[in-house]
Amino acid sequence: MGGSAGGPDVPPAPASLDWCERVVPGPPGKRSFAVDLSAAHASVRFFGHDISHVTVDHALVDAFASSAEPWSLATLEAYAEALPTVCHLAAGAETLPAAKVELSGTVAVVRPGTGELALPAGATAVAIDLRGLPAVEGLRDALEQAAALALAEPVAQPKVQVREHRGLTDEYLWEFFGANGIYSNKLTTKSQPALPAGAPVELPIVLLTEARLAPDAARFALALRRAGRAWLAGEDLLTAVAEASWFGVGQGGLLHRDRELVNSKLLPDQVAADVRTLVPEQHVERLLALGSPPKPSATPAERPSFAPLLSPELDKPTVATPEPPLARAALIVAHGAARLFFPYFPVIGDTIDEGLEQEQGALDGLPASARPLWGALSRFSSHLRDSHCWTLPIAPGSGKPPAAGFLPLLLDSSAQGEALVRRSALEGIQAGDVIETIDGQPMAERVAGWEPLISASNDGGLRRDALLFALQVAGPSQVVARAADGKKKSVSVPLAALSTPRPTVSDRKAGFLGDLGAADLFYINFDGPVFKSPVTASEVMAEASSAAGLILDARGYPGTVETWEVIQRVIKTSSMIRLSVPEISPLERTSNVQDQPWTPVTSGPRFDGPVAVLIGPWTQSAAEHMLIPLVNEKRATFVGRRTSGANGNITSVRGPGPIALSFTGMEVRYDNGATFHGLGIAPDVTVTPSAPSLAASPDPELAAAIELLKP
């Protein structure tokens, strides 16, 4: 491998300083265009340099709006042009070449690739040719194998600064529930694994480079040159190339910088080649003769650096007209956020790719005046099978069907699927009635129309919500019901009678059940408005402590921490609830697992006698969470039906335009690791309502619990 700087070699013209022009692209997309675009957009949105989700999301909306064909390279080009931190390129090679090594004099010239490498006998130095290597999976391993031929000691790589997310930082629901600090994001510096050694003695290295390099090749070259373990012959290295990641989409792809290489500060923008040349192989021997490479110069970096993401309070999107391009972008945003942060795919199965493709296909051919946003996102949400997953209209114009309010009824489902009335504020409609039609539409048809728009953790939650939403009406309505005796009746509902739904199953307050013939049994309703602070757990339990049995009603949502203390004054042993939050950066995905302890309160009044707990499809989230210690200890008999199976702190992603999507952001398991999501808590005594039972008793579950606990 001879030659010199004189001879036929002519120094090349200055290379472009635009890093987009200095990157070797990766392979084309492997999945559908929409799914691969979702992965790319999610990476730009959550891990990229733009501090505003709104900026990134609206670039996607504009890209869809500007392209006649949404799934085309023109869309990628428009997207990248709107974001200075993103590059668009046509796709490159899909596979690595076979690895090879040749001996030139005493220099082993290595071409990294697939297969094993061995150092030829007589080799005293290694030249690694990085030119033309494709940006494909496996390149990093191939490069490390090549370097191991010459490394007797591992070589430390520069540290990286990345955005790391501990769950999905809530983007919308904080406006209602307040910031809880459960989910967050931060800039963090991480160490990278050292380049591994594999040689018995250290051998000098020369790296052969050119203007365009794959990101893995650039990272590899930069690490060796900065460590003083390799010479560079060919072209300068742009650090930005080493900070980039490739996402194949269709026949092209997107690149963006998802990390920063740092020491105590941002590394210089360039690492200069020791010889700039178009024929680096002619300079290998001369560089080797110079001994060890000098330390690279440390010039100040001028490329953009990471800054903290804007807080949701400051990063609110402008409300755009929900045309099909907006719906396409919102679906991509929701899919990408769920793919990164939703924890339950191993439990529910994974069909969100199919859901995304189905909803994107349904948008094809729609006129610009269409309002598909809410319906498309709601149907997509059903693939998450999570009763915490709601499509949340933020402003008018989301495309959600207008409604004046809800009929003031609480409905339940019979074993035959009928819409049973449990509670009614309508004159003429009583518990035990079956709703047959609303405004002439059969109730079964109304319910079936809502089911595809609902995300539910199990069938009970799906039916519960479908019955609830079927009560939405656009104005004064006519309800036809069938009484328990079979007689039909028609009731007119004026506009003033419509309400905001709150499915309170029982408004019975805490106390002994003498009116039900059980004066020695004490009842506590956990529903927040019924329990009502400033009543304390100590006060309630002091009254209950003399009872022969205790009935806890968990069919409503606990609105006060005092209800949690009631549980602590009932349990006898300590137990755990296992909580797991995903921790995600561009480099890795891990889980932060915390065991939440539940311990008995032993001072003050307690109840140590028999306990029954009323449960059903309305028992969800915090109501389920507070019951888990009772399940762990087998402390109570559960009466009713299976709970909703949706537990864990909620989070939300705010899409472009007037809409957001919520879902459960953490995984909750029993202390033995058993699954909770979708399964919830099963009853020990099943009570399925019927028209006769509801007509005979306002609360058949309570009646069953009384029979269970009677001496």
For residue 29, give both structure tokens. Answer: 């997309």
Helices (H) and strands (E) in the chain, counts: 21, 34
Those residues with Cβ within 8 angstroms of residue 104's Cβ, 6 or more apart along the chain or in another chain: 1, 127
Q: Do residues 54 and 82 touch, judged by C-beta distance below 8 A?
A: no
Q: Which of 455, 315, 474, 499 is nearest to 400 (CA)?
A: 474
At 417-470, the pLDDT tens digits run 999 999 999 999 999 999 999 999 999 999 999 999 999 999 999 999 999 999
Residue with tokens 């539940």: 598
Would you mind telling me the total number of residues written for the chain in this entry? 711
CA distances from 516 to 33, 702, 705 (A): 63, 10, 12
At 658-676, the pLDDT tens digits run 899 999 999 999 999 999 9
DSSP-assigned letters across all residues of 509-537: PSEEEGGGTEEEEEEEE-BHHHH-TT--H
The lowest-confidence range among 466-475, 483-492, 527-536, 684-693 is 527-536
Q: Do residues 472 and 498 touch, judged by C-beta distance below 8 A?
A: no
CA distances from 214 to 132, 462, 611, 688, 689 (A): 8, 48, 65, 63, 65
Instruction: For residue 391, give the amino acid letter.
Output: T
CA distance 351 to 340: 14
According to DSSP, the residues that pair with 189 across neighbouring strands are 161
Number of CB atoms found within 10 A of residue 18's CB: 11
Three-state DSSP at 103 gives strand
* pLDDT band, very low/low/confident/very high, at 1 (cuts 50, 70, 90): low
Instruction: For residue 304, give the amino acid letter.
Output: P
Say what percent of the chain tops pLDDT 90: 87
pLDDT of 6 reads 43
Q: Once rounded to an integer, what is the mean pLDDT over residues 385-394?
A: 95
According to DSSP, the β-strands at 244-249 and 650-654 are unpaired
CATH tag for 405-497 (out of 1.10.645.10, 2.30.42.10, 2.60.40.10, 3.30.2320.50)? 2.30.42.10
CA distance 117 to 100: 7
**500 burial class (0-12, 13-18, 19+ CB within 10 angstroms)?**
exposed
φ, ψ dihedrals at 162, nearest 5°: -140, 165
Residue with tokens 């997309």: 29
pLDDT of 482 reads 97
pLDDT of 316 reads 84
pLDDT of 3 reads 42
- Domain ranges for the chain, please list them: 405-497, 511-645+680-709
pLDDT of 180 reads 58
The DSSP letter of residue 13 is P
For residue 633, give both structure tokens. Answer: 């200890």
At 313-363, the pLDDT tens digits run 888 887 667 789 999 999 999 999 999 999 999 999 999 999 999 999 999
Q: Once rounded to an integer, what is the mean pLDDT over residues 606-629?
A: 97
Domains 405-497 and 511-645+680-709 fall in the same CATH topology: no
pLDDT of 399 reads 85
For residue 449, give both structure tokens. Answer: 């129309």
Q: Which of 242, 373, 220, 384 is nearest to 301 (CA)?
A: 242
CA distance 460 to 309: 39
The lowest-confidence range among 10-14, 409-413, 465-469, 612-616 is 10-14
CA distance 98 to 275: 28
Number of CB atoms found within 10 A of residue 480's CB: 17
Q: Which of 535, 693, 710, 550 is nearest to 614 (CA)?
A: 550
Residue with tokens 């439990």: 347
How high is the mean pLDDT of the chain? 94
Whether 2 has a pLDDT exceeding 70, the answer reads no
pLDDT of 108 reads 98
Q: May I ask the CATH class of domain 511-645+680-709?
A: alpha beta
CA distance 267 to 244: 14
Q: Do residues 392 and 651 touch, judged by C-beta distance below 8 A?
A: no
According to DSSP, the residues that pair with 187 across neighbouring strands are 163
* Torsional sign, CA 704, 709, 710, 711: positive
CA distances from 82 to 42, 86, 426, 467 (A): 16, 8, 55, 45
Whether 117 has a pLDDT exceeding 50, the answer reads yes
Whole-prediction pTM value? Answer: 0.94
Q: Which of 225, 217, 238, 303 is nearest to 266 (CA)?
A: 303
Number of CB atoms found within 10 A of residue 193's CB: 9
Angle at 188 between CA 653 and CA 144, to 5 degrees: 110
Whether 301 has a pLDDT exceeding 80, the answer reads yes
Displacement of CA 78 from its chain's centroid (Å): 26
Q: Once rounded to an integer, what is the mean pLDDT over residues 582-609?
A: 95
Q: Once rounded to an integer, what is the mean pLDDT over residues 356-381?
A: 94
Three-state DSSP at 46 gives helix
* Torsional sign, CA 634, 635, 636, 638: negative
CA distance 392 to 175: 13
Task: Please report, in angstroms and rounded to a whole number, the separation of the first and last CA atoms in the chain.
Answer: 98
Whether 5 has a pLDDT exceeding 50, the answer reads no
According to DSSP, the β-strands at 125-129 and 205-208 are parallel
* pLDDT band, very low/low/confident/very high, at 11 (cuts 50, 70, 90): confident
Q: Which helix (H) or strand (E) holds 77?
A: helix 73-82
At 149-172, the pLDDT tens digits run 999 999 999 999 999 999 999 999
**26 burial class (0-12, 13-18, 19+ CB within 10 angstroms)?**
buried
CA distance 384 to 366: 26
